[in-house]
């Protein structure tokens, strides 16, 4: 890390700061020189065609993939490239996967319980007792994601859309500073999509959020700043209308 | 108080299991010792020691179920921890022989005398003390599991890779213990035990006590295992089994949880081995054979993985079948029967005996949460 | 736990336990004399032990044709301990306690014998053990009808030293107790005959070792030092085939470096092309090729019994023949199958062996046997090139080892297996 | 007991007689015939010696017959049975019409065999066949008998064949080393000859230099020994490498079928070893059929067994896949249990059908024996197994990469649903892939029948090693299996001389455990997102 980075105002005021990040798999450059800055409290939508590097970017932020080069800083001072997934999660970065990933053999309530912000050590979990405050928080979240009645059902028995919501609920339970949300509206009905957008906007009131999405209607509903990724780097950035007018973006999307 | 809490937290299946074990622990030794041999309810000593052996296997199966059924770690080397516990106990029993060995050497076990060992190797020190030996029963398998798991889980070795290196571990130990130069009696292992805590190991009362002790340890281990899987840690562990990286993104240090469960399980396996040795009268390196560990996996699968009770049931059923099949007219063909049983169970009873029975029994009731249908952890 | 629930639980358990265990009640009173056969029919040792089971079935059938024993028919009880040592102990217990057999014929490896030993002692029954072994044992309940080291290993080494003028020795064995002990005895014996340490090479390999390239080339190297060299092989059954195949391929002929084996008999050779092995040796107390009327009859009977005119016979089979004959005589003498009476009757009992002599059960529970050295013939049989004058009594304790040279087994006079002639006491040192 | 040295000394006499055209008929032959009939090894050996000195015209034929077990004796008669079955009276050389009663073959032990060899070899110093002369020279080289020297020198003078001449010179050098009264210059030259020969035996001969030799000679001897030892150490490394490659090729053969069934299909196939065993038993059956119906084809038996073993093991594999495994896709660990059960059944089935004992599979002529390249001793069977392993590997690679079936196999294993949507009959491809893997295991059985037991336990001894190789190399990568097998084979053989067979193997297992920590997906792991999906 160079000295200049330390005194970079863009860095110190940011929540998440990516600069010149590259990574390659077996010679294929998935991310090349990606730079991105998210301010505290900001909600950002990221779009891009398949293979643009959206998921890999999330992998880098959450510690699943280590970049070959570049800077990834959180809260202006923490170098994320040096931490593993668990440490990054405990810093306050939550992630929702593209394919809804919940614990199929746990009840919905237990899924939330596992995500609930708490000490994560072996000893603490072994002797855990759910306090009243925790229980209230769980009930609140179940209310928000509208699964309160199904709390004792196995998560594996939920519909696709319900699983998406459960996963968002788990993110809420984690109470992270930054949420990474990968295609929350995928496979949802129009009604569900609209409700999800409302839910995300609600969440964005007191959290920073990065949303990766294909569904332009959904992005429009969110009404936030958009970053377009292409072949592993940023192609355009700005409000949706401005971005969608960009000729390069149109070209990339329509494959002309 | 604590027992009441446990009983309340326990499902019906667990209660029946515990009651059965408690009954066995009490009634079998009493019937063996007090009733006359001709009586209808008399349990012959041979039957009692046979069931003692089954119950040791059941304990081993429960320990494996804890890591495999709940944490998704398929250990093909659990026999190693069992055997190490057994060796620790065997070393204690060897030291108890004292000068009653065939050569009458007060310090050296017989096999060392006739292979001209000058003095007792350092790692045999202390084993004449029962508390020390019992500590080693827990510590040696536990420590090995801890060190092995520390590396393997931190390096995120998973699925078949992990299974195969656990197999490599037990295979390496098998070869090592076969070597006579190791000072563990080579292929013949440790045998011809005399006393345990001053009681003759072959006396009927000692056997009865060992049987009761096995039941008690099985109950204790079952309660510990139940306690673990019912705690929040247990939920984390199941989460790891079903979606390891999701759990990691929730902020759990997956490697530490796996390490904890793996180490606890290894200690349990060690206890099972320690109880097994005085009852069968021998411990030798073939307990390390990879085939034994694979067979343990099969017991768990047959009984129903992720149920604890099922694992114990599977161990007893398979071993009972083995006892029956290896005698009489079936003797030359029993492998056909056993092999067919394995194929049948995997094909038609993927949830094992317990899971299938439960499905069949309680279609109308809500399903038990902890029974996995598939094996997501190894599918990677 | 509340009192009430405790009671319920125990009651339930009692009921379940009783039904569970009911199936194990002892069998009804016996009208036949039962004989246990404890040989592995599956697993790694099945290769050697299955044959012995068949021999026992044949002997029992024959005895029944002669009218049985004490006016009762004999009944064979076959179990399969599956090459699994704890299972050996379990099966032994089952045979004695549940099936109430009068005697057991069985085991092959030392570890299987060690594993069943406590059971036989505890339940006081009789085991006939038919395989050559390392000695250092004399137990009241066990009768050893195979060779002790002084009935196999030492005569073989004497033969090589005298007839082949061997001066350099390779002691190659599988790493388990029989080779370890035998090699220890041989090393002490050779050194006492003036062989220098650098002229003895000892090598151990794991069970089932199959890649012999390095070791065979080491033997070749060791053998090219100008002195006549021989290999004394205590390599265990399964590993022998690849070992001999490698010897043959690397062109080690018996005239260059002869190999004398203690675990290779007719059965093992049946799996090898023996042409390249011409002249390599084996030391046993019996060979199929020995021409005596008893042996001819036995071979004929065996081949008829197995319905295979090519079926071979071997040394441990003969040991069972002798052991069974001795047991029958002892039971007749004691007029009972009561173990104590039979154990008392057995020492001194004589039975003809198949090579023209009369073997005798000694007070140390070993028997007298002739020793033969045979060279491998191209047809997989052995050509006897040397034999002892008369029969050699088996030593339970080796005279060559420091720990055991003062020990004898004597169950007739001293009533113990480890009587120390120096201190005059039982119980080792 | 007769020493070879003494025999050779008598050969000198005999050869002297042969060199001079006056072939005299000596006494004592009658005594020899009596001794041959005595059925005592020492008498037989003595008789050979007598026959040689007596220069009986039939001597060579009689001794040769004795060595082959074709010499019959009994009731005072000694008869040679010729190779084509005719009977000839040994004393007179006249044919005998009917075999007299009470005859039996004269028995040999190793000692008699050695005497016979020495006699035949010694007689061969002047044999017209160069090969026999070389063998004779070797015999002299080993005996280092001083008295043979004059004959040897005469033979050297006459020798025209370069190889035979070198052998004779080496024999001469060996004698000169121990002949203290030989000219010092000749003895120094002898050291050089031995140094040139440079093998283990030359070393042994050099070491037998008497202690009272001159300082110059001792010095030369010391330097020669050092040179030979250095040279041999190099060769030994080469030999270890060869052994390693040979072991590696065995591991490769055993593991490569598993690389298909386990590596490509993801079936934890515990019955893999039994497929190898079935291949070995097929080889046995093929050989038995050939032995009984067409003995002339014996040398081709393995060639015939190769396709047979492939088909048998492959067919059983397909049956297993269709009958059991196809119901278990997506549940890899359940395949472990089911195939374990199948392996028990197959083992016991073979045990019941073929008996529990080992079965004999013979080696065809081209696979027997060994040859030397420099200091490397190479056995033919190992060489052929390496070649065979290479061919199987190449063929398998070609099938997977070049054929439509291979393409479909890869498509199915990578994305079953997609492949199915594109019209590939996935069920058929699964069965064929499993059959291919099993068939290749059967091929391994053909090779293993040449070096290991053909017994029901054969497969068990290779299954663990096979899994280690596949996992070490990286699941799903044939090249990984190749590199893995060779690495483990060579490492094993370089460790063995230092650590011993057992510790060497333990060290390798520990190495694999540690290696997997470093590369949790084996040597040739796939990287990137696809792996985690």
Per-residue pLDDT at D14: 57
Unique residue bearing structure tokens 């151990």? C204
Q: How far apart are CA D448 and CA D286, in angstroms?
A: 15
**Residue A30 clears pLDDT 70, i.e. is over it:** yes
Q: How far apart are CA A9 and CA A15, in angstroms?
A: 12
Contact flag D528-A28 (C-beta cutoff 8 Å): yes
Q: Please give the residue of chain B at the shortest CA–CA distance from D523.
A: B161
pLDDT band at B315 (very low <50, low <70, confident <90, very high): very high
Q: How far apart are CA A153 and CA A110, in angstroms?
A: 10
Per-residue pLDDT at D8: 57
B71 touches A at CB < 8 Å: no
Contact flag D529-A55 (C-beta cutoff 8 Å): yes
- Could you tell me which of D54, D61, D46 has the C-alpha nearest to residue D29? D54
Topology match between the domains C33-147+295-369 and C150-284: yes
Contact flag C21-B46 (C-beta cutoff 8 Å): no
Q: Kindly report the average pLDDT of chain A as a whole number.
A: 85
Chain C residues with beta carbon closer than 8 angstroms to that of D369: 249, 251
Mean pLDDT of B99-114: 85
Chain B residues with beta carbon closer than 8 angstroms to that of A90: 251
Backbone dihedral region for residue C332 (phi beyond 0: left; psi -120 to 50: alpha; all else: beta): alpha
- The minimum CA-CA distance between A83 and chain D, rounded to whole Å, is 19
Q: Please give the residue of chain A at the shortest CA–CA distance from D532.
A: A64
DSSP type of residue B69: I
Q: How far apart are CA D148 and CA D151, in angstroms?
A: 6
B238 touches A at CB < 8 Å: yes
CA atoms within 13 A on the CB side of D67: 17
| Residue D400, both tokens | 């997977």
Handedness of CA D501, D502, D508, D511 (dihedral sign): negative
CA dihedral (C269, C275, C281, C282) in degrees, to 10, reads 10
**Residue A78 clears pLDDT 60, i.e. is over it:** yes
Contact flag C21-B47 (C-beta cutoff 8 Å): yes
- CB-based burial label for B55 (10 Å; 0-12, 13-18, 19+): buried
Angle at A195 between CA A191 and CA A201, to 5 degrees: 150
- The minimum CA-CA distance between B254 and chain C, rounded to whole Å, is 36
Helix (H) or strand (E) holding C383: strand C382-387
Boundaries of every domain in chain C? 33-147+295-369, 150-284
Q: Please tell me the total number of residues recorded for chain C in this structure.
A: 429
Unique residue bearing structure tokens 């021998």? B282
Unique residue bearing structure tokens 């010092």? D184
User: If contacts are CB pairs under 8 Å, which of residues 168-227 in chain C contact chain B?
Assistant: 175-177, 180-181, 184, 204, 206-207
Name the pTM for this structure.
0.89
Task: Assign domain C150-284 to its CATH architecture.
Answer: 3-Layer(aba) Sandwich (3.40)
Q: Please give the residue of chain A at the shortest CA–CA distance from B366.
A: A153
Mean pLDDT of B255-274: 97
Chain A residues with beta carbon closer than 8 angstroms to that of D528: 25-26, 28, 30
Question: CB neighbours (10 Å) of residue D153?
Answer: 13
Chain D residues with beta carbon closer than 8 angstroms to that of A25: 527-529
Question: CB neighbours (10 Å) of residue A179?
Answer: 24
Nearest to C163 among D111, D347, D454 (CB): D111
Contact flag C181-B114 (C-beta cutoff 8 Å): yes
Backbone angles phi, psi at C132, to 5 degrees: -60, 140
Q: Where are the alpha helices (DSSP H) in B155-231?
A: 159-178, 204-230
Contact flag B334-C119 (C-beta cutoff 8 Å): no
Unique residue bearing structure tokens 């004292």? B98
Q: Which of A2-11, B9-18, C187-196 has the highest mean pLDDT?
A: C187-196
Per-residue pLDDT at B378: 35
| 3-state class (DSSP) for residue D79 | strand
Of the residues B339, B345, B372, the best mutation for testing chain D's interface (the one with the most D CB atoms within 10 Å of its CB) is: B339
ipTM: 0.87
Boundaries of every domain in chain B? 2-379
State the distance between the two ends of chain D, measured CA to CA, in whole angstroms.
78
User: If contacts are CB pairs under 8 Å, which of residues 339-358 in chain D contact chain B?
Assistant: 340-345, 347-349, 352
Contact flag B235-A101 (C-beta cutoff 8 Å): no
Backbone angles phi, psi at D87, to 5 degrees: -105, 130
**Residue B380 clears pLDDT 70, i.e. is over it:** no
Mean pLDDT of A157-181: 88
Q: Catalogue all structural domains in chain A, each as residue range(s) with its CATH number.
A: 1-85+224-256 (3.40.50.300), 92-207 (3.40.50.300)
Contact flag B103-C115 (C-beta cutoff 8 Å): no
Q: How far apart are CA A96 and CA B250, in angstroms?
A: 10
Contact flag B336-D333 (C-beta cutoff 8 Å): no
| 3-state class (DSSP) for residue C84 | coil
pLDDT by residue for chain C (429 residues), tens only, comes to: 444 444 444 444 444 444 444 444 444 444 899 999 999 998 888 888 999 999 999 999 999 999 999 999 999 999 999 888 889 999 999 999 989 999 999 999 888 999 999 899 989 999 999 999 988 899 999 999 999 999 999 999 999 999 888 999 999 998 888 888 899 889 999 999 999 999 999 998 887 888 898 899 889 888 877 678 999 999 987 788 889 888 888 888 888 899 999 988 898 888 788 888 888 999 999 999 999 999 999 999 999 999 989 899 999 999 999 999 999 999 999 999 999 999 999 999 999 999 999 999 999 999 999 999 999 998 889 999 999 989 999 999 988 888 788 889 999 998 888 898 888 888 754
DSSP type of residue C146: S
Is A53 within 8 Å of A30 (Cβ atoms)? Answer: yes
Handedness of CA B227, B233, B239, B244 (dihedral sign): negative
CA atoms within 13 A on the CB side of D246: 24
Per-residue pLDDT at D9: 61
Q: Please give the residue of chain B at the shortest CA–CA distance from C407.
A: B103
For domain C33-147+295-369, say whether CATH 3.40.50.2300 is its number: yes
What are the DSSP E strand ranges found in D358-420? 370-373, 376-379
Q: Please tell me the total number of residues recorded for chain D in this structure.
A: 533
User: If contacts are CB pairs under 8 Å, which of residues 238-267 in chain D contact chain C?
Assistant: 239-240, 243, 246-247, 250
Contact flag A26-D529 (C-beta cutoff 8 Å): no
Q: Which CATH class is domain B2-379?
A: mainly alpha
Contact flag D341-B350 (C-beta cutoff 8 Å): no
Instruction: Give the orientation angle of helix D215-258 with respect to helix D380-402, to 10 degrees.
Output: 40
Is D250 within 8 Å of C242 (Cβ atoms)? Answer: no
User: If contacts are CB pairs under 8 Å, which of residues 368-427 in chain C contact chain B?
Assistant: 401-404, 407, 417-418, 420, 427
Of the residues D259, D261, D333, D507, the best mutation for testing chain B's interface (the one with the most B CB atoms within 10 Å of its CB) is: D333
| Residue D148, both tokens | 């043979």
Unique residue bearing structure tokens 């080494």? C157
DSSP type of residue C381: -
* C–A touching, 3+ CB–CB pairs within 8 Å: no
Q: Please give the residue of chain B at the shortest CA–CA distance from C418.
A: B102
Cα distances (angstroms) measured from residue C78 to each of A15, C101, C169, C320, C338: 78, 11, 42, 15, 21
- Could you tell me which of A142, A90, A91, A134 has the C-alpha nearest to residue A116? A134
pLDDT band at B351 (very low <50, low <70, confident <90, very high): confident
* A–B touching, 3+ CB–CB pairs within 8 Å: yes
**Where do you find CATH 1.10.3470 in chain D?**
235-532
**Residue B271 clears pLDDT 70, i.e. is over it:** yes
SS3 track for C9-75:
HHHHHHHHHHHHHHCCCCCCCCCCEEEEEECCCCCCCHHHHHHHHHHHHHHHHHHHHCCCECCECEE
Chain A residues with beta carbon closer than 8 angstroms to that of B238: 103, 105-106
Backbone angles phi, psi at B146, to 5 degrees: -65, -50
Contact flag B254-A86 (C-beta cutoff 8 Å): yes
Per-residue pLDDT at B373: 41
pLDDT by residue for chain D (533 residues), tens only, comes to: 445 556 656 655 555 555 444 344 445 677 888 888 887 888 888 888 888 777 777 887 888 888 888 888 877 788 888 888 888 888 888 888 777 777 888 888 888 888 887 777 666 777 778 887 888 888 778 777 677 787 788 888 888 888 888 888 998 898 888 888 888 888 889 999 988 888 877 887 887 787 777 888 888 888 998 998 888 888 888 989 999 999 999 999 999 999 988 888 888 899 999 999 999 999 999 999 999 998 888 889 999 999 999 999 999 999 999 999 999 887 777 888 899 999 999 999 999 899 888 888 888 888 888 888 877 888 898 999 999 999 999 999 999 889 988 888 888 877 778 888 888 888 899 999 999 999 999 999 999 998 888 989 898 889 999 999 999 998 888 899 999 999 999 999 999 888 888 888 999 999 999 999 988 888 886 544 433 33
Chain B residues with beta carbon closer than 8 angstroms to that of D468: 164, 168
Q: Looking at chain D, which subunits does it touch, using at least 3 CB pairs closer than 8 Å as the criterion?
A: A, B, C
User: If contacts are CB pairs under 8 Å, which of residues 492-531 in chain D contact chain A?
Assistant: 526-529
Q: Kindly report the average pLDDT of chain B as a whole number.
A: 88
D381 touches C at CB < 8 Å: yes
CATH number for the domain whose boundaries are D235-532: 1.10.3470
């Amino acid at each position: 890390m160079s000295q200049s980075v330390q005194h970079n105002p863009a860095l110190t005021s940011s929540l998440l700061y990516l600069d010149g990040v590259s990574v390659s798999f077996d010679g294929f450059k998935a991310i090349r020189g990606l730079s991105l800055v998210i301010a505290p409290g900001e909600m950002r939508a990221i779009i891009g065609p398949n293979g643009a590097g959206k998921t890999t970017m999330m992998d880098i932020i959450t510690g699943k993939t280590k970049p070959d080069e570049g800077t990834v800083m959180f809260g202006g001072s923490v170098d994320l490239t040096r931490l593993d997934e668990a440490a990054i999660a405990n810093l306050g970065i939550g992630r929702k996967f593209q394919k809804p990933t919940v614990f199929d053999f746990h009840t919905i309530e237990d899924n939330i319980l596992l995500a609930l912000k708490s000490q994560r050590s072996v000893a603490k979990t072994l002797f855990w007792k759910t306090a009243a405050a925790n229980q209230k928080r769980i009930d609140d979240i179940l209310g928000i994601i509208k699964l309160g009645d199904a709390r004792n059902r196995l998560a594996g028995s939920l519909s696709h859309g319900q699983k998406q919501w459960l996963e968002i609920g788990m993110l809420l339970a984690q109470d992270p500073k930054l949420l990474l949300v990968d295609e929350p509206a995928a496979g949802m009905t129009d009604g569900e999509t609209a409700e999800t957008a409302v839910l995300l906007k609600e969440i964005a009131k007191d959290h920073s959020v990065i949303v990766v999405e294909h569904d332009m209607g959904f992005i429009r509903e969110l009404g936030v700043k958009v970053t377009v990724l292409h072949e592993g780097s940023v192609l355009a950035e700005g409000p949706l209308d401005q971005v969608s007018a960009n000729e390069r973006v149109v070209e990339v999307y329509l494959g002309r | 108080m604590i027992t009441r809490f446990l009983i309340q937290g326990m499902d019906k299946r667990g209660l029946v299991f515990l009651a059965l074990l408690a009954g066995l622990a009490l009634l079998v030794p009493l019937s063996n010792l007090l009733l006359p041999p001709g009586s209808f309810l008399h349990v012959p000593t041979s039957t009692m020691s046979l069931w003692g052996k089954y119950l040791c296997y059941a304990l081993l199966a429960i320990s494996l179920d804890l890591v495999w059924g709940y944490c998704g770690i398929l250990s093909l080397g659990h026999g190693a921890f069992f055997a190490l516990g057994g060796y620790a106990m065997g070393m204690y029993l060897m030291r108890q022989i004292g000068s009653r060995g065939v050569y009458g050497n007060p310090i050296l076990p017989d096999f060392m005398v006739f292979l001209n060992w000058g003095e007792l190797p350092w790692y045999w020190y202390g084993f004449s003390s029962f508390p020390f030996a019992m500590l080693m029963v827990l510590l040696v398998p536990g420590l090995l599991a801890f060190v092995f798991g520390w590396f393997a889980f931190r390096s995120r070795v998973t699925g078949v890779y992990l299974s195969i290196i656990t197999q490599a571990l037990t295979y390496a130990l098998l070869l090592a213990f076969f070597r006579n130069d190791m000072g563990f009696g080579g292929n013949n292992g440790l045998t011809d035990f005399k006393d345990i805590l001053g009681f003759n190991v072959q006396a009927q009362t000692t056997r009865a006590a060992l049987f009761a002790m096995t039941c008690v340890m099985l109950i204790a281990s079952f309660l510990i295992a139940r306690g673990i899987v019912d705690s929040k840690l247990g939920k984390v562990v199941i989460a790891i089994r079903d979606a390891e990286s999701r759990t990691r993104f929730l902020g759990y240090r997956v490697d530490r949880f796996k390490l904890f469960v793996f180490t606890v399980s290894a200690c349990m396996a060690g206890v099972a081995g320690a109880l097994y040795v005085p009852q069968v009268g021998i411990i030798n390196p073939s307990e390390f054979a990879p085939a034994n560990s694979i067979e343990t996996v099969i017991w768990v699968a047959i009984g129903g993985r992720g149920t604890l009770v099922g694992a114990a049931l599977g161990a007893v059923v398979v071993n009972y079948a083995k006892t029956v099949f290896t005698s009489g007219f079936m003797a030359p063909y029993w492998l056909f029967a056993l092999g067919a049983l394995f194929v049948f169970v995997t094909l038609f009873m993927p949830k094992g005996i317990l899971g299938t029975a439960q499905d069949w029994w309680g279609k109308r009731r809500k399903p038990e949460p902890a029974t996995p249908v598939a094996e997501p952890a190894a599918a990677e | 736990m509340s009192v009430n629930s405790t009671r319920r639980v125990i009651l339930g358990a009692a009921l379940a336990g009783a039904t569970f265990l009911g199936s194990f009640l002892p069998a009804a009173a016996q009208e036949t004399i039962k004989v246990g056969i404890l040989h592995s029919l599956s697993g790694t040792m099945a290769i050697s032990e299955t044959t012995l089971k068949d021999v026992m079935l044949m002997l029992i059938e024959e005895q029944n044709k002669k009218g049985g024993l004490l006016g009762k028919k004999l009944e064979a009880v076959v179990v399969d301990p599956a090459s699994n040592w704890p299972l050996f102990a379990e099966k032994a217990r089952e045979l004695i306690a549940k099936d109430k057999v009068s005697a057991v014929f069985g085991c092959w490896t030392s570890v299987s014998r060690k594993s069943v030993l406590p059971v036989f002692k505890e339940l006081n029954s009789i085991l006939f053990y038919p395989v050559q072994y390392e000695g250092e044992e004399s137990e009241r309940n066990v009768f050893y009808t195979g060779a002790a080291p002084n009935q196999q290993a030492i005569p073989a080494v004497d033969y090589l030293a005298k007839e082949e003028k061997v001066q350099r020795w390779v002691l190659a064995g599988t790493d388990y107790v029989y080779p370890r002990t035998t090699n220890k005895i041989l090393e002490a014996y050779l050194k006492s005959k003036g062989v220098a340490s650098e002229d003895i090479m000892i090598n151990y390999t794991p069970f089932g070792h199959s890649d012999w390239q390095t070791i065979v080339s080491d033997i070749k190297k060791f053998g090219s030092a100008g002195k006549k060299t021989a290999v004394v092989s205590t390599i265990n059954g399964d590993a022998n085939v690849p070992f001999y195949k490698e010897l043959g391929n690397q062109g080690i002929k018996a005239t260059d470096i002869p190999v004398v084996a203690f675990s290779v008999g007719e059965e093992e050779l049946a799996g090898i092309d023996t042409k390249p092995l011409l002249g390599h040796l084996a030391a046993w107390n019996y060979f199929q090729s020995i021409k005596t009327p008893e042996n001819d009859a036995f071979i004929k009977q065996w081949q008829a019994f197995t319905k295979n005119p090519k079926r071979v016979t071997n040394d441990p089979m003969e040991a069972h023949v002798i052991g069974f004959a001795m047991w029958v005589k002892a039971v007749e003498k004691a007029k009972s199958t009561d173990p104590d009476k039979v154990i008392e009757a057995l020492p001194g009992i004589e039975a003809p062996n198949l090579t023209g002599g009369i073997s005798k059960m000694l007070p140390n529970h070993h028997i007298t046997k002739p020793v033969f050295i045979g060279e491998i013939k191209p047809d997989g049989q052995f050509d006897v090139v040397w034999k002892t004058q008369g029969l050699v009594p088996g030593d339970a304790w080796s005279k060559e080892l420091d720990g055991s040279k003062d020990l004898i087994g004597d169950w007739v006079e001293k009533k113990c297996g480890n009587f120390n002639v120096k201190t005059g006491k039982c119980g080792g040192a | 007991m007769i020493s070879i040295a003494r025999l050779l000394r008598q050969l000198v006499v005999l050869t002297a007689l042969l060199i001079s055209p006056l072939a005299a008929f000596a006494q004592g032959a009658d005594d020899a015939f009596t001794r041959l009939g005595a059925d005592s090894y020492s008498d037989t050996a003595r008789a050979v010696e007598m026959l040689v000195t007596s220069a009986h015209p039939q001597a060579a034929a009689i001794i040769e017959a004795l060595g082959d077990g074709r010499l019959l004796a009994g009731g005072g008669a000694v008869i040679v049975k010729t190779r084509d079955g005719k009977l000839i009276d040994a004393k007179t050389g006249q044919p005998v019409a009917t075999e007299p009663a009470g005859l039996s073959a004269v028995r040999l032990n190793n000692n008699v065999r050695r005497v016979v060899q020495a006699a035949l070899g010694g007689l061969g110093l002047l044999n017209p066949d160069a090969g026999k002369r070389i063998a004779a020279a070797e015999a002299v080289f080993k005996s280092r008998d001083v008295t043979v020297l004059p004959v040897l020198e005469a033979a050297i003078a006459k020798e025209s064949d370069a190889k035979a001449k070198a052998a004779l010179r080496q024999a001469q050098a060996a004698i000169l080393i121990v002949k203290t009264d030989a000219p010092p210059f000749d003895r120094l030259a002898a050291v050089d000859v031995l140094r040139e020969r440079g093998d283990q035996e030359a070393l042994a001969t050099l070491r037998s230099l008497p202690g009272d030799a001159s300082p110059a000679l001792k010095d030369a001897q010391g330097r020669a020994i050092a040179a030979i030892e250095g040279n041999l150490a190099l060769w030994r490394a080469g030999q270890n490498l060869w052994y390693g490659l040979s072991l590696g090729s065995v591991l490769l053969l055993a593991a490569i079928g598993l690389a298909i069934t386990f590596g490509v299909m993801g079936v934890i196939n515990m019955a893999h070893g039994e497929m190898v065993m079935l291949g070995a038993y097929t080889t046995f059956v093929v050989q038995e059929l050939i032995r009984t119906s067409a003995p002339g084809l014996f040398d081709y038996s393995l060639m015939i067994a190769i396709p047979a073993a492939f088909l048998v093991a492959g067919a059983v594999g397909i049956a297993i896949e269709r009958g059991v495994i196809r119901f278990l896709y997506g549940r890899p660990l359940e395949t472990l249990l089911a195939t374990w059960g199948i392996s028990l059944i197959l083992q016991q089935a073979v045990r019941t059908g073929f008996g529990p004992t080992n079965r004999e599979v013979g080696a065809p002529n081209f696979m027997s024996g060994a040859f030397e390249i420099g200091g490397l001793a190479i056995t033919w069977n190992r060489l052929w197994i390496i070649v065979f392993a290479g061919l199987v590997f190449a063929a398998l690679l070609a099938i997977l990469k070049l054929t439509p079936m291979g393409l479909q196999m890869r498509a199915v294993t990578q994305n079953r649903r997609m492949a199915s949507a594109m019209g590939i009959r996935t069920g058929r491809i699964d069965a064929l892939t499993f059959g291919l893997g099993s068939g290749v295991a059967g091929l391994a059985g053909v090779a293993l029948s040449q070096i290991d037991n053909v017994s029901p336990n054969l497969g068990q001894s290779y299954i663990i090693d096979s899994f280690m190789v596949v996992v070490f190399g990286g699941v799903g990568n044939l090249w990984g299996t190749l590199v893995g097998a060779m690495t483990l084979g060579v490492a094993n053989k370089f460790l063995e001389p230092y650590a011993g067979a057992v510790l060497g193997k333990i060290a390798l297992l520990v190495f694999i455990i540690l290696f997997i920590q470093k590369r949790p997906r084996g040597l040739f792991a796939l990287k990137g997102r696809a792996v985690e999906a």
